[in-house]
Homo-oligomer: A and B are copies of this chain.
């Protein structure tokens, strides 16, 4: 159970693979389209897709000399959304801390606490 999860999260633990999933979240795409969207070269994209295929996160269907990729489970979209929310919360926290720091700086005689 935890093992599966760890492997799953490992598949997500890479910027390009996240980007690919976000592109596929908008709808099925050929490798060429994915390449264009993520701005990486062919073998890099192909390799990352191979990892995502191996982990059953995406699937590819041949269409002539093209391959169309889709997300295997739409819940990936939700997972990415939750992660984005956590990121935003983290950002808010960071900004809040900076604001506090700024306030302290403006009050030289702050209590020693």
Contacts and interface: CB of A to CB of B under 8 A. Distances in A.
A6 B14 contact: yes
B9 A9 contact: yes
Contacts of A2: 15-16, 18-19
Contacts of A80: 5
A89 interface: yes
Contact of A83 (B5, B17, B56, B89): B5
Interface string A60-99: 0000000000001101101110111111011001000000
Interface of chain A: mostly helix, strand, loop or mixed: helix
A2 B20 CA distance: 11
Nearest to A76: B86
Nearest to A77: B82
A8 B78 contact: no
Contact of A13 (B10, B16, B72): B10
Nearest to A22: B2
Which 3 pairs of residues, A with B, have the shortest CB-CB distance? Answer: A10-B13, A2-B15, A9-B12
